Structure 1
């Protein structure tokens, strides 16, 4: 056997060894992910096709989905929660992400003083627990012992104060803005990191052509960070349609007043586990969870196969 044959066989053995090496290191993560994500998802999908009759599981096919969409008691609660969830998502898209892009643009200014302090201050709320954030904002906005009336009075705007969390017309918007306050640091830091990755040669060439300041941001930086904005948008979509913690902390499981802040997460919680006089129904809870999964899956597929391709085509 020639030297070349030996070298080829040795390289083949090395590749096989490397592959086994990768599998060994990936195996623990795959096992943990399967145990806490894949198996519960499969069990949820299976449970949505069954119902409990006389203490035993009976296969009903899509009967639970027909009940959810067709029975007035279930359909009214579901469509109300879905509508509120879309409003919750749109507020984040129209308020949180544009503010995040604007703040990232300001943080990327080369001569900005105390930049590290601003970055820390903006990202700090995202590290706080939902329970702490909800409790703090309930205290701030309370019409009895909150500081909001006093602060508005200092600037002569006390007449604008209202029990925003207690009015059905403003409760959902208020909770959404609280969530925006807590999470705006995430898109800010992601966009800021994306701006830092823009090659200096591109910016120097733009400056040579007389493109500076905000004109440089709109014409040069923004097109280059569109993929990052797309990632932030789909993360916002997934996070908002999985939301539960903040609404539960601020408004409770009933998501009051009068269900005005009820979203799919709180509806799922009450349906699956039960609350007060409502008895838990695991089959219907799994059905709602399955619908949530399908909504999120549809949104992610639309982004991956439609929006992301156009962004790549535009970028390159």
Structure 2
């Protein structure tokens, strides 16, 4: 066998070894992901098609879904939670993400002093436990011992204070803004990183053409960071429709007052595990979880196959 043939065979064997090398390193992560994500998802989908009758698990097909959407009591609770979830998501999209983009634009100013301090301070709430955040804001907004009435009184606006967390008309907005305060650092840092990746040659060319300041942001930087904004939007969608912890901490499992802050996550919790006088129903809980999964999957597919494909891409 010639030297060339020997070398080609050696390269093929090395490539084969490298492939097994990759599989060996991927296997632990794959096993953990399967155990933690894939198997529970499959079991949830399976459980939504069964129900318990006379102590026996019986296949009912889409019967649980018919109950969820057809029974007046279940349907009222589900549509209320879904509507609140959409409001929760829209507040994040219209408040959190624009503020995150604006803060990133300010932090990307080259001559900004103490930029590292500002970035750390704005990102710090993201690192806090939702229990701490919820408890702190309940204290701040409390009409009895909170500091909000005092702070508003300092600026002559005490008459505007109201027990926002205790009124059905304002509770959901208040909780949503608390969530915005906690997580605004995530879109800020992602957009800031995207702005740092913009080549200096592009910005220098824009300055030579007289495009500076906010005009440069709107005409040059914003179009270049649109893919990052799209990723942030879909992450916000997935995170908001999986939300549970902050509302549970601030408003409890009943998501009061009168269910005004009830979202799909809290409805799922009460249905699956039960709460107070309500007995847990695993089949209906799995049905709600399946609907949540389908909603999130639909939103992600819409973004990937309809929006992202049409989004203009810039390559350098």
Task: Specify the TM-score bucket, using the shorter chain as the normaliser.
Answer: over 0.9
Superposed displacement of residue 4, structure 1: 1.3
Matched with 1:236 is 236
Q: Deviations over 1:197-250 (max 9, x none)?
A: 001111111111111110110011001100000000000000000000000000
- Alpha-carbon distance in structure 2 between the residues aligned to 1:199 and 1:315: 11
Contact kept? 2:51, 2:59, Cα under 8 Å: yes
Aligned ranges for residues 160-175 of structure 1 at < 5 Å?
A: 160-175=160-175
Matched with 1:124 is 124
Superposed displacement of residue 314, structure 1: 4.9
TM-score, structure 2 as length reference: 0.99
Aligned ranges for residues 1-316 of structure 1 at < 5 Å?
A: 1-311=1-311, 313-315=312-314
Contact kept? 2:171, 2:257, Cα under 8 Å: yes
Contact kept? 2:107, 2:192, Cα under 8 Å: yes
- Alpha-carbon distance in structure 2 between the residues aligned to 1:101 and 1:13: 50
Q: Deviations over 1:173-220 (max 9, x none)?
A: 000000000000000000000000001111111111111110110011
Name the SS of the counterpart of 1:32 in structure 2.
Answer: helix
- Alpha-carbon distance in structure 2 between the residues aligned to 1:29 and 1:179: 31
- Alpha-carbon distance in structure 2 between the residues aligned to 1:199 and 1:16: 39
Superposed displacement of residue 272, structure 1: 0.1
Contact kept? 2:227, 2:313, Cα under 8 Å: no
Name the SS of the counterpart of 1:100 in structure 2.
Answer: helix
Superposed displacement of residue 58, structure 1: 0.1
- Alpha-carbon distance in structure 2 between the residues aligned to 1:135 and 1:116: 28
Superposed displacement of residue 315, structure 1: 3.6
Q: Deviations over 1:101-132 (max 9, x none)?
A: 00000000000000000000000000000000
Q: Which 4+ residue blocks in structure 1 deviate beyond 4 angstroms?
A: none
Name the SS of the counterpart of 1:310 in structure 2.
Answer: coil
- Alpha-carbon distance in structure 1 between the residues aligned to 2:142 and 2:109: 38
TM-score, structure 1 as length reference: 0.99
Q: Could you tell me which runs of 5 or more consecutive residues in structure 2 were left unpaired when the two chains were aligned.
A: none
- Alpha-carbon distance in structure 1 between the residues aligned to 2:10 and 2:215: 57
Name the SS of the counterpart of 1:52 in structure 2.
Answer: strand
- Alpha-carbon distance in structure 1 between the residues aligned to 2:77 and 2:180: 25
After superposition, the CA RMSD in angstroms is: 0.6
Query: How many correspondences in the alignment?
Result: 315
Q: Deviations over 1:234-285 (max 9, x none)?
A: 0000000000000000000000000000000000000000000000000000
Structure 1 window deviating more from structure 2 (256-265 vs 8-17): it is: 8-17
Contact kept? 2:89, 2:241, Cα under 8 Å: yes
